[in-house]
Chain A
Amino acid sequence: MGQFMHINRRQSLGLLGGAAFGALILPGSLMAQGARRSITIAVQKISNNNTLDNWHEQSNVGERVFYPNFWEGLIGRNWMGDQGPVPELATEWKRLDDKTIEFKLRQGVKFHNGDEMTAEDVAFSFSDERLFGGTEPVGGTTIYAEDFKPNTDKELPASVPGTARRLWPALRGVEIVDRYTVRFHNATPDVTLEGRFYAGGPQITSKRAWDEAKTYAEWARSPVTTGAYKVEEFKPDVSLTLVAHDEHWAGRPPLERIRFIEVPEVASRVNGLLSGEYDFACDLPPDQIGTIANTAGLEVQSSTIWNHRVSVFNTQNEIMADPLVRRAMTHAIDRNAIVEALWAGQTVVPKGLQFDSYAASNMLIEDWTVPEFNPELARDLLKQANYKGDAIPYFLLNNYYTNQTATGQVLTEMWQQAGINVEIQMKENWSQIFAGEGERGLRDWSASNLVNDPVTPMVNQFGPNGQAQQNLEYSNAELNQMSVVLETSTDHETRRKAFRRMLEIAEREDPVYTLLHQNAVFTGMKSELNWKAAPAFAMDFRRDNWNV
């Protein structure tokens, strides 16, 4: 890499004179130490909340800067492989019963501050002080809380305990068995516990670093973790520089520095890549693929991610209350045409609200598909519903999701072709989307696989406690019964049957959503780097994925 020059506030003021430009150049420090390379990555956003706390920043952009280089958990995700679980900070784990898991911690793991990671850090990472803020687990009471009296008066962001309880609704506490052994106690039986450990959030932080920080904000701008790279400098809304943590348990990281630069405009990210300033340009829309792919020395990596685009029906709307109309809408969509026209064929139409990675636990319903594209059937269903052509409002955000507006327009035309009169109403934000209770006919959403089990997204997004039902957009008694089965049963075949039934209800009989396609991300990069993108927002810069 070339030279990095830094400008601070006083120097910014120095620019005022115009003529004093020369005085602003600080002595550049050559980054290359040893043979390692440093890289620069242009992203649209580094962190929505301007923190590096993975519980507070539960977003796609957060996933990119956090995993797997910075935050590490007991169980890791096999980012470059089958997306299944792999040992990370724990070397092994076993079920003691259907509510308890015991972990053997990896010994000799060093935090960025030089401390060794022990069971106390793990227990702290799941404590009231760090996470749960005094909230009680479903079906039980908190245990071991008295072991963790806060040393400082830090105010957790208001949203963190709620977010933590979504992933760990019934976690009672963490028992320290010895320095390298911990037990997680759940209040209810849960077959998905292991999957929850490699979701975003339950990674491990240093207790001492937390105690030493004066405020939550101070800690959250530079959390101390065990990751292969540590925070060197975080300038909110500007840049994040990670530097190699040479004491990392897996060995010396391959890069000296990773610098994420926030470049909000697509054109600016592309220009920076073309001019050679950036090694990677992220968050590219599909229409930029050609520009970059046709430039010598550059290429585009595309990855489908654990997230599906859906449109959610609102049964509070009089017309949408009739499942026949909703069914007609699901059959009027040519999903492959959308994938070809708007995504250049770079993503796929999945097997309903499922992810291929469910196969690892034999929960993938192989023979399931999205509703077939059949305008004739759609027209027939409308006739049965006695639909008179009244307008159905479609609340739409301006490209919150990639290609969202264009997809909305295409969908509207497809529905029009089948005789369904859908009218787009553009909205500015999510609050406005949720405001039109009885008026809104449908709106967009995306559905994420959080714990690599059908409970996410089917149950957590469309079940009785999911946002769709909580917002009164939909309800179905049988689907809700099946949600309980999927969440609490420990019998594999029973769960599999329940999930199939939920797909039948949610996508065919009484649709709550219609699935459009899997989401994908596109990353422009210098071909010489020989780097591979994971099927995720996360960018893996660990030893196994760096060959230059």
Chain B
Amino acid sequence: MLNHILIRLVRAFLTLMLVMTFAFLVLRLSGDPAIILLGPDAPQDAINAFRERWGLNDPLWKQYLAYIAQVLTLDFGVSMRDQVPALELVMSRIPATLAITVPALILKVAIGIPAGVYAALHRQSIADRGVITLSIFGFTVPSFVLGLILVLIFAVTLGWLPSGGQDSWRHAILPIATLSVGGIGIMARFSRSAMIEVLGQPYIRTAMAKGLSWRDVVWKHALPNAAVPIVTLLGFMVGSLIAGAAVVESIFSWPGVGRLIVTSVANRDLAVVQSLLLVIACSMIVANFLVDLAYGLLDPRLRSKRAAH
């Protein structure tokens, strides 16, 4: 088990270095932060001084090595735009993003999974068709369209909710709704498929033949087995809690990580982009790790395989 964790950590570290190198090259080669941040009207003296201050006149390889050396000492640099520590800036935005992505995730799980399971247990019924239709609607309508429709209905026409901002809990309702609709649809479709597949397995027939009640068959045999693919999907969703709301945050003027990604990439504010990548990659790695652990808990066969290794 320790070996397994160590291998995963080394792999995660290498992935992180690759991602950061790629981001460094793409950002540095596609624009000079001095001209982008200071704008087209900035005097040449100001542009020169800015380049000098941030080391942008050094050769690219030197800038890269300096940056990597900095990161390895856990110094993630200072934002060229805000002149505050980049990691601090990123961390300050995370609570706002989680404030809408976590409730949205809870809704995805709380509504999507029961709806999918119910549809699978009542296959070909009107309820099943209803769930399929709604879930297709949910994951095919882009969030920027859905968000604007919800604003038009609930803010502009009915006047029940605010159209954007972060002043109160009421401001969070429409972003959460927009974020959750697609995920509920995906979760319902996935849960339905997983359940249908499991319900067709021989061990379900065996369980029924043993005389177990339908309720016991579903709760003790079908659901735990269907949970493995659902947990995989859940892992993806947990991994994107921090970075998965960029569009919705822009529509609803919600000042979270997503908007920071957009502005820092546009401004080539490298220290901030790299800190964002680090935090996002870490959240993905943690999510994958948790999924791995959950597999072991859900499926004894995986546990015994790892033990054998």
In the complex, the answer to whether A263 meets B40 with C-beta atoms within 8 Å is no
Nearest-neighbour CB distance to chain B for A255, whole angstroms, equals 19
Summarize B's interface: helix, strand, loop or mixed: helix
Contact A217 B95, CB 8 Å, known A7-B168, A7-B169, A429-B31: no
Nearest-neighbour CB distance to chain B for A315, whole angstroms, equals 19
In the complex, the answer to whether A445 meets B40 with C-beta atoms within 8 Å is yes
B135 at the interface (CB under 8 A from A): no
Taking a contact as CB atoms closer than 8 A, the residue among B102, B107, B166 that contacts A7 in the complex is B166
Nearest-neighbour CB distance to chain B for A282, whole angstroms, equals 14
In the complex, the answer to whether A448 meets B41 with C-beta atoms within 8 Å is yes
A37 at the interface (CB under 8 A from B): no
B252 at the interface (CB under 8 A from A): yes
Residues of A within 8 A of B244 (CB): none
Contact A25 B30, CB 8 Å, known A12-B99, A277-B162, A429-B35: no
Nearest-neighbour CB distance to chain A for B107, whole angstroms, equals 8
In the complex, the answer to whether B52 meets A158 with C-beta atoms within 8 Å is yes
Residues of B within 8 A of A445 (CB): 40
The stretch of B2-10, B152-160, B298-306 that contacts the partner chain = B152-160
B228 at the interface (CB under 8 A from A): no
Interface size (B, Cβ < 8 Å)?
Answer: 63
Cα distance A160–B284 in the bound complex, in angstroms: 40
In the complex, the answer to whether B102 meets A264 with C-beta atoms within 8 Å is no
Contact A5 B40, CB 8 Å, known A428-B31, A430-B35: no
Taking a contact as CB atoms closer than 8 A, the residue among A58, A160, A165, A264 that contacts B41 in the complex is A58
Cα distance A428–B106 in the bound complex, in angstroms: 38
Select from chain B the residue with minimum beta-carbon distance to A5.
Answer: B168
Nearest-neighbour CB distance to chain A for B34, whole angstroms, equals 8
Taking a contact as CB atoms closer than 8 A, the residue among A22, A50, A59, A161 that contacts B81 in the complex is A50
The stretch of B42-50, B121-129, B191-199 that contacts the partner chain = B42-50
B148 at the interface (CB under 8 A from A): yes
Select from chain A the residue with minimum beta-carbon distance to B91.
Answer: A9
Taking a contact as CB atoms closer than 8 A, the residue among A9, A165, A264, A272 that contacts B250 in the complex is A264
Residues of A within 8 A of B42 (CB): 58, 159, 162-163
The stretch of A231-239, A385-393, A489-497 that contacts the partner chain = A231-239
Taking a contact as CB atoms closer than 8 A, the residue among B53, B164, B260 that contacts A272 in the complex is B164
Residues of B within 8 A of A9 (CB): 92, 95-96
Nearest-neighbour CB distance to chain B for A30, whole angstroms, equals 14
Cα distance A161–B46 in the bound complex, in angstroms: 7
Select from chain B the residue with minimum beta-carbon distance to A4.
Answer: B167
Taking a contact as CB atoms closer than 8 A, the residue among A158, A267, A272, A470 that contacts B46 in the complex is A158
Cα distance A25–B169 in the bound complex, in angstroms: 7
In the complex, the answer to whether A15 meets B102 with C-beta atoms within 8 Å is yes
Cα distance A25–B287 in the bound complex, in angstroms: 31
B32 at the interface (CB under 8 A from A): yes
In the complex, the answer to whether A267 meets B99 with C-beta atoms within 8 Å is no
In the complex, the answer to whether A18 meets B103 with C-beta atoms within 8 Å is yes
In the complex, the answer to whether A264 meets B253 with C-beta atoms within 8 Å is yes
In the complex, the answer to whether B255 meets A235 with C-beta atoms within 8 Å is yes
Residues of A within 8 A of B38 (CB): 159
Select from chain A the residue with minimum beta-carbon distance to B46.
Answer: A162
Nearest-neighbour CB distance to chain A for B174, whole angstroms, equals 11
In the complex, the answer to whether A261 meets B165 with C-beta atoms within 8 Å is yes
Q: Find residues 415-451 in chain A having any chain B CB closer than 8 Å to their own CB.
A: 428-434, 445, 448
Q: Find residues 58-95 in chain B having any chain A CB closer than 8 Å to their own CB.
A: 81-84, 92, 95
In the complex, the answer to whether A275 meets B96 with C-beta atoms within 8 Å is no
Q: Find residues 16-43 in chain A having any chain B CB closer than 8 Å to their own CB.
A: 16, 18, 21-22, 24-25
Cα distance A271–B162 in the bound complex, in angstroms: 10
Nearest-neighbour CB distance to chain B for A361, whole angstroms, equals 23
In the complex, the answer to whether A162 meets B47 with C-beta atoms within 8 Å is yes
Residues of B within 8 A of A59 (CB): 39
In the complex, the answer to whether B36 meets A268 with C-beta atoms within 8 Å is no
Residues of B within 8 A of A263 (CB): 164-165, 253
Cα distance A235–B152 in the bound complex, in angstroms: 27
Cα distance A157–B52 in the bound complex, in angstroms: 12
A48 at the interface (CB under 8 A from B): yes
Nearest-neighbour CB distance to chain B for A24, whole angstroms, equals 4
In the complex, the answer to whether A237 meets B47 with C-beta atoms within 8 Å is no
Residues of B within 8 A of A58 (CB): 39, 41-42
In the complex, the answer to whether B169 meets A159 with C-beta atoms within 8 Å is no
A274 at the interface (CB under 8 A from B): yes
In the complex, the answer to whether B159 meets A13 with C-beta atoms within 8 Å is no
A216 at the interface (CB under 8 A from B): yes
Residues of A within 8 A of B103 (CB): 15-16, 18
Select from chain B the residue with minimum beta-carbon distance to A160.
Answer: B46
Cα distance A238–B249 in the bound complex, in angstroms: 12
In the complex, the answer to whether B40 meets A7 with C-beta atoms within 8 Å is no
B143 at the interface (CB under 8 A from A): no
A467 at the interface (CB under 8 A from B): yes
Cα distance A356–B41 in the bound complex, in angstroms: 22
Cα distance A3–B294 in the bound complex, in angstroms: 46
Cα distance A22–B82 in the bound complex, in angstroms: 34
Select from chain B the residue with minimum beta-carbon distance to A18.
Answer: B103
Residues of A within 8 A of B41 (CB): 58, 448, 461, 467
In the complex, the answer to whether A158 meets B54 with C-beta atoms within 8 Å is yes
Select from chain A the residue with minimum beta-carbon distance to B95.
Answer: A12
Contact A265 B250, CB 8 Å, known A50-B82, A165-B43: yes
In the complex, the answer to whether A237 meets B255 with C-beta atoms within 8 Å is yes
Contact A264 B45, CB 8 Å, known A12-B96, A15-B172, A159-B38: no
Select from chain A the residue with minimum beta-carbon distance to B43.
Answer: A166
A276 at the interface (CB under 8 A from B): yes
In the complex, the answer to whether A159 meets B167 with C-beta atoms within 8 Å is no
Nearest-neighbour CB distance to chain A for B50, whole angstroms, equals 4
B100 at the interface (CB under 8 A from A): yes
In the complex, the answer to whether B40 meets A217 with C-beta atoms within 8 Å is no
A214 at the interface (CB under 8 A from B): no
B274 at the interface (CB under 8 A from A): no
A6 at the interface (CB under 8 A from B): yes
Residues of A within 8 A of B206 (CB): none
Contact A161 B169, CB 8 Å, known A16-B98, A429-B31, A467-B40: no
In the complex, the answer to whether B252 meets A268 with C-beta atoms within 8 Å is yes
Cα distance A239–B171 in the bound complex, in angstroms: 15
Residues of B within 8 A of A141 (CB): none
B151 at the interface (CB under 8 A from A): yes
A120 at the interface (CB under 8 A from B): no
5 CB contacts below 8 A, A to B, read A15-B98, A15-B100, A15-B172, A161-B49, A432-B31
Known contacts A5-B168, A275-B159, then 18 further A-B pairs from the complex at CB < 8 Å, ordered by chain A residue:
A6-B167, A9-B96, A15-B169, A21-B169, A25-B169, A49-B82, A161-B49, A162-B48, A217-B82, A237-B259, A268-B151, A268-B163, A275-B156, A277-B162, A429-B36, A431-B33, A432-B31, A470-B44
Sort A-B residue pairs by CB-CB distance and give the 9 closest, nearest first: A162-B46, A162-B45, A158-B53, A159-B46, A5-B168, A15-B99, A431-B31, A431-B32, A12-B95
Chain B residues within CB distance 8 Å of chain A: 30-33, 35-50, 52-54, 81-84, 92, 95-96, 98-100, 102-103, 106-107, 148, 151-152, 155-156, 159, 162-169, 171-172, 250-253, 255, 259-260, 263, 266, 268
